[in-house]
Each structure stands twice: as C-alpha cells, then as structure tokens.
Amino acid sequence: MATFNFELVSPERVLFSGDVDAVVLPATEGDMTVLAGHSPVMTALKTGFLVITSTPGNGRRILVRGGFADVNQNGLTVLAERALPEEELTQEILDHEILTAEMHYDASNEPATKQAAESAIAQLREAKAALNF
C-alpha cells in the first residue's frame, strides 16, 4: 500500500512524524480518511479521535481537540491545539476535558460554538465509555 508523510504537532511537542498508510481525521464536516495521493485540502478539526494506520489492521488512536489538517503534495500535517495519545489518557484528563467543554458550552451564546461544544462533549463521553472508565 502506498504510504505518505504524516506529521502531528501540538504546541508543546511533535507527536508523530513518519510514513503512514492512512489517517482518519475528525473533520468538522464529518470524519474523513486521508490516503496517499489525496488532493490538497485544508480542514478544521473538531474534538475526536484521530486514527493512524501504519500497518494494515493496526491503528493508533490519538484524541485531538481543535486544530487544522493540511493536505498537500508533501503529505499531511495536523496542527492540533491539544493532542493526547490513547495510552496517556486517564479518567482525570477526560473529566477535565469534559468540564472545559461544558464551560465553553455554557459560556457561549452563538449557536455555532454551542453546537461545536456539544459535539465535543458527546465525543469525549463516547471516548470515556470506549475506554471503560
């Protein structure tokens, strides 16, 4: 399977850099999978899991919150405001994230941001359930 270069950076560090087969992005308009040779696209991300597949049938999941994905001829670059690999997730972190999202929800009056916060909360709850906390 053709591979392409993928980089995941958060403000604090570079989380992933290397060749991969496919990456599933939690884009604002719905999840999308990027494969090698994808046409150039720039999309905003919502809160959710990003799945990296570097060997068939073997994915690595990373929780991202907000950010951008940039696909160009050089590969895929994801700028995540906050990124947490699945193995580093704990109940405390998730609870904290949910609390922040809820605060965002309560603080805003615009329907768009409210909706975004709502979906973030749903995603985080789902993640919590999936990880059996």
Partner 1 sequence: MPSLKDLRNRIASVKATQKITKAMQMVAAAKLRRAQTAAEAARPYAERMAAVLGNIASGVIVGPETPRLLAGTGSDRVHLLVVCTAERGLCGAFNSSIARLARDHANRLMAEGKTVKIICVGKKGYDILRRQFVQQIIELIDLRSVRQLGFEQGDMIAQKVLARFEAGEFDVATLFYSRFRSVIAQIPTAQQIIPAQIEATGTSSDAVYDYEPDEGEILTTLLPRNLTVQIFRALLENAASEQGARMSAMDSATRNAGEMIKKQTMTYNRSRQAMITKELIEIISGAEAL
- Binding-site ranges for partner 1 (CB under 8 A): 7, 9-14, 27-29, 39-44, 68, 70, 72-73, 77, 79, 81-82
Residue 92 or 132 with smaller CB distance to partner 1: 92
Q: Which of 1, 2, 4 is nearest to 71 (CA)?
A: 4
Q: How would you write 69-111 as a 3-class SS string?
A: EEEECCEEEEEEEEEEEHHHCCHHHHHHHHHHHHHHHHHCCCH
How would you classify residue 48: left for phi > 0, otherwise alpha for psi between -120 and 50, otherwise beta?
Answer: left
Min dist. Cβ of residue 19 to partner 1 (A)? 17
Cβ at position 102, least distance to partner 1 in Å: 17
Q: Of 67 and 123, which has the nearer Cβ to partner 1?
A: 67
Measured from the CB atom, the residue of 24 and 41 that comes closer to partner 1 is: 41
Which residues, in sequence order, are bridge partners of residue 30?
27
Residue 2 or 112 with smaller CB distance to partner 1: 112
The whole-angstrom separation of Cα 120 and Cα 98 is: 8
Residue 21 beta carbon to partner 1: minimum distance, rounded to whole angstroms: 22
CB of 57 to partner 1, least distance (A): 28
Give the integer Cα–Cα distance in Å for 49 and 25. 7
